[in-house]
Amino acid sequence: MSVSKSERILNLFFVLINSKRPIPRHEIRQKVNGYEECESETAFERMFERDKDELRNTGIKIDAVPIDPLFDDELGYQVDSKTFLTKTVEWTPSERAILSLASTTWHRTEFENLAKSATLKTGGSINLKSSDENKEIYSGELLKFRSIMKSLNTKSVMDFKYVSFDDNEPKSRQVIPKKLYRQGDNWYFDAYELISTTWKTYQTSRIVGEIIIKPASAIELNLLKKDNNQTLPRTVRVEINQNASLISHITGGTAIGERTIDFKFFDEKSFAKYLLRFSSIIVSIDNDAIREYYKKYLKDFVKVLSHD
Amino acid sequence: MTKNDRLSRLLLELPWLIQNKNTSIDNFCAQFDISRDEANKDLSLLTYVGPGRFGGELVDIQYDDENISVIDSQGFDRPLRLNNIEAVLLLLGVRNLSEISKDKQEILDIDIKLSGLIESDIADEKYKQEYSNKKNRIKEAIANRKQLVIHYIDSHLKLTSERSITPIEIKTLDTKEYLTALDNNSSQKRTFRLDRIIEVAVVPLDALPQEITQNNIYSEKISLRTKSWNASNILDLNIPYTRSGDQLHIEMDLIDPEYLLEIILRLDDKTEIVCSKKMKSNLQKMLSDRIESIL
């Protein structure tokens, strides 16, 4: 009886996850039930490539690595270790119940199916009724995130007002977002700004008011394609009067020496403003522009305090 | 359903069945939104796959009209990892729940686990492990009514010398955990942010009774008015504030001018500061010293 495509791909997956070493192609052809039907080596290779793509589409990445670390002439295949949930993340039954309930937040939205699939991966149930089934009430925060994710998924333009670190008033921004992530307590997204035609990082909590989603024009999408190189952050070294390795989880950055931290930054003015909160421990800043802005901001606050 | 959808579903079904032992076929159908017929086809296909072609090398699932049990998963016993967008969706859902839930602690535990699954440039497994060990030692001391000796980074980001405390409880506010404890030297109740506790040692001394000494400490009423978008800059300080339109108002009794300065520097230079002249001149002096000393 011939083996179905799903069956063959699952067999490939099981052969790979049950091997402690990368498996060469010829061995895969022998071991995986379904590949024996290939009439030629070329037919097998084509089928194998298609199967790897199918697995990749489901989130399972197959890596090709040299079988012998000293010689890279023969490649073997293995499932990327990041495919599975790490052993350190295990959900208790009560956590699963909370996750199931949390996923109902996305009922009747464009993210319903993704949220369901995520819940099933945690072992949770998806047939729970939403706590507020008949109402679609989202907090302002959640609405904001929904807009960002909607725009991420559809490559649309987000139109919103934003207060950057060096602004005192919100300014209008039109961006196409690329990636949403969290660092510490804050959420950020990297996005292409259409007016300045540069890549920038935005903190979600600094968005003021509503986000309007608009389809991107062909010109805007082309612009995005052409300018796909995100600006790389620069580094500034800051000396402090405390043990850097003990506090870098609070300040951000990477502890380099006993009393120095390297920070990544994009914009001198904004970064100088960020550093103000650590001014009680800062001894030196090895970037002239940042240091000058930093001093200027401190002087501005001296002025604020001179008002009665 | 396309074939690829089916493959995705099959890859979800096996680990889900392992986590939901002896589930009923009706529940299985409901979870995966499939008919009984489709469920039977999926379960049947799953028993034909494995790393080999023979009995012991194939997935073994026993099922009848009522129940389903996985006997042998052929090594596929851990769920697939959540991708970035899936983890973000669950995390946002969990945060939405935290606004209505009373059990903030459990929600924060999930938040921490999910955050670890989201791409982040500063994700630091070692730090997370240390944090978890530290928290466990504190919980143990609370449960066994023991004293602790801690090193702490204070609000001025300075590492304090050893402090002897009697831990009382761990509380969660927003995304941060705080330890309420009795300072054994001053007999005052203090709150410590858990991520600012650097070292924790349990000492074999019994917890002190929680009789709080009322010291006459001088404090001053402070009022700060600023724009509401500055709220994100002070979240981690756990200070009370109110919002009205685009205005944010902080009102508090404050003892420490250095702490007040840290708050002000997180706001903007349009902030309206109401405090005594003495306090203002203190703050100006501190700022001038910082401007002078920077290299």
Q: Tell me whether residues B7 and A54 touch, CB distance under 8 A.
A: yes
Q: What is the CATH number of the domain that holds B136?
A: 2.30.30.100
Domains of chain A in sequence order: 5-84 (1.10.10), 93-228 (no CATH), 234-307 (no CATH)
Could you give the CA distance from residue B20 to residue B28 in angstroms, rounded to a whole number?
9
Q: Hey, is the C-beta of B46 within 8 angstroms of any chain A C-beta?
A: yes
Sort out which chain A residues have CB atoms less than 8 A from B293's CB and list them: 283
Q: Tell me whether residues B89 and A115 touch, CB distance under 8 A.
A: yes
Closest CA to A51 of A16, A12, A19, A21: A12
Q: For residues B249 and B221, is the Cβ–Cβ distance under 8 A?
A: no
Q: How confident is the model at residue B66 (pLDDT cuts 50, 70, 90)?
A: confident
pLDDT at A73: 74
Question: Are B7 and B108 found together in one domain?
Answer: yes
B97 CA to centre of own chain: 14
Could you give the CA distance from residue B243 to residue B229 in angstroms, rounded to a whole number?
10
Mean pLDDT, to the nearest integer, of B163-185?
82
Percent of chain B with pLDDT over 90: 12
Question: Are B168 and B274 found together in one domain?
Answer: no
Which residues constitute the domain of residue B233? 220-294
Question: Are B248 and B235 found together in one domain?
Answer: yes
Q: Tell me whether residues A305 and B4 touch, CB distance under 8 A.
A: no
Across the strands, what pairs with A218? none
Grouping H, G, I as helix, E, B as strand and the rest as coil, residue A274 is helix
Q: Tell me whether residues A295 and B294 touch, CB distance under 8 A.
A: yes
Question: Which of B94, B119, B144 finishes a domain?
Answer: B119
Sort out which chain B residues have CB atoms less than 8 A from A299's CB and list them: 287, 291
Residues A230-286 pLDDT 10s: 667 789 999 998 888 888 878 888 889 889 999 988 788 888 988 998 998 999 999
pLDDT at residue B1 is higher than 50: no
- B22-39: b (≥16 Cβ within 10 Å) or e: ebebeebbebbebeeeeb
- Per the prediction, chain A carries an average pLDDT of 84
Where does residue B278 rank: exposed (0-12), middle (13-18), buried (19+ CB within 10 A)?
Answer: exposed
Residues A135-153 pLDDT 10s: 555 566 778 888 898 898 8
Question: Are B87 and B8 found together in one domain?
Answer: yes
Q: What is the CATH number of the domain that holds B94?
A: 1.10.10.10
Which of B:18-37 have CB within 8 Å of A?
19-20, 27, 30-32
Where does residue A1 rank: exposed (0-12), middle (13-18), buried (19+ CB within 10 A)?
Answer: exposed
Q: Tell me whether residues B15 and A121 touch, CB distance under 8 A.
A: yes
Question: Are B166 and B208 found together in one domain?
Answer: yes
pLDDT at residue B3 is higher than 60: no
pLDDT at A225: 75
> Nearest C-alpha of chain B: how many angstroms from A48?
16
Closest CA to B82 of A207, A113, A115, A300: A115
Sort out which chain B residues have CB atoms less than 8 A from A184's CB and list them: 122
Grouping H, G, I as helix, E, B as strand and the rest as coil, residue B188 is strand
- Structurally, chain B folds into a number of domains equal to 3
Q: How confident is the model at residue A176 (pLDDT cuts 50, 70, 90)?
A: very high
Closest CA to B218 of B259, B267, B253: B253
Question: Are B205 and B238 found together in one domain?
Answer: no
Q: For residues B118 and B89, is the Cβ–Cβ distance under 8 A?
A: no
pLDDT at residue B212 is higher than 90: no
Q: How confident is the model at residue B123 (pLDDT cuts 50, 70, 90)?
A: very low
Q: For residues A207 and A201, is the Cβ–Cβ distance under 8 A?
A: no
pLDDT at A262: 93
Which member of A14, A115, A243 has the closest CB to residue B51?
A14
Could you give the CA distance from residue B49 to residue B103 in angstroms, rounded to a whole number?
43
Q: Tell me whether residues A179 and B119 touch, CB distance under 8 A.
A: yes
Question: Are B287 and B196 found together in one domain?
Answer: no
> Nearest C-alpha of chain A: how many angstroms from B272?
8
Q: For residues A160 and A206, is the Cβ–Cβ distance under 8 A?
A: no
Question: Are B228 and B211 found together in one domain?
Answer: no
Could you give the CA distance from residue B38 to residue B34 in angstroms, rounded to a whole number?
6
Q: How confident is the model at residue B28 (pLDDT cuts 50, 70, 90)?
A: very high
Q: Which of A7, A122, A173 to mutate to test the interface with B (most CBs of B within 10 A)?
A: A122
Which of B:69-108 have CB within 8 Å of A?
74-76, 78-97, 99-100, 106-107
Closest CA to A193 of A212, A173, A216: A173
Q: Which residues contact B274 (CB under 8 A, 6 or more apart)?
A: B222, B223, B224, B225
Q: Where would I find the H helices in A84-191?
A: 93-103, 112-121, 140-154
Which of B:199-218 have CB within 8 Å of A?
none
Tally Cβ neighbours within 10 Å of residue B145: 11
> Nearest C-alpha of chain B: how many angstroms from A220?
24
Q: What is the CATH number of the domain that holds B234?
A: 3.30.70.240
Q: Tell me whether residues B78 and A84 touch, CB distance under 8 A.
A: yes
Question: Are B34 and B115 found together in one domain?
Answer: yes
Least confident of A138-152, A245-259, B17-31, B215-229: B215-229
Question: Are B114 and B129 found together in one domain?
Answer: no
Closest CA to B15 of A23, A13, A33: A13
A89 or B166, higher pLDDT = B166
DSSP B27: H
B115 or B26, higher pLDDT = B26
AA letter at B288: S
Q: Tell me whether residues A149 and B86 touch, CB distance under 8 A.
A: no
C-alpha angle with apex A199: A59 to A274, nearest 5 degrees?
Answer: 105
Which of B:153-192 have CB within 8 Å of A?
153, 156-159, 174-176
Q: Tell me whether residues B82 and A122 touch, CB distance under 8 A.
A: yes
Could you give the CA distance from residue A48 to residue B173 in angstroms, rounded to a whole number?
52
Question: Which of B216, B235, B270 finishes a domain?
Answer: B216
Sort out which chain B residues have CB atoms less than 8 A from A120's CB and list them: 12, 16, 31-32
pLDDT at B84: 76
Q: Which residues contact A297 (CB under 8 A, 6 or more apart)?
A: A272, A273, A276, B269
Question: Which of B84, B119, B154 finishes a domain?
Answer: B119
- Per the prediction, chain B carries an average pLDDT of 81
Where does residue A302 rank: exposed (0-12), middle (13-18), buried (19+ CB within 10 A)?
Answer: middle
Question: Are B72 and B147 found together in one domain?
Answer: no
How crowded is the C-beta side of B62, counted as CA atoms within 13 Å? 5
Question: Are B46 and B144 found together in one domain?
Answer: no
Closest CA to A123 of B96, B13, B168, B192: B13
Q: Tell me whether residues B158 and A182 touch, CB distance under 8 A.
A: no
Which member of B27, B116, B265 has the closest CB to residue A276?
B265
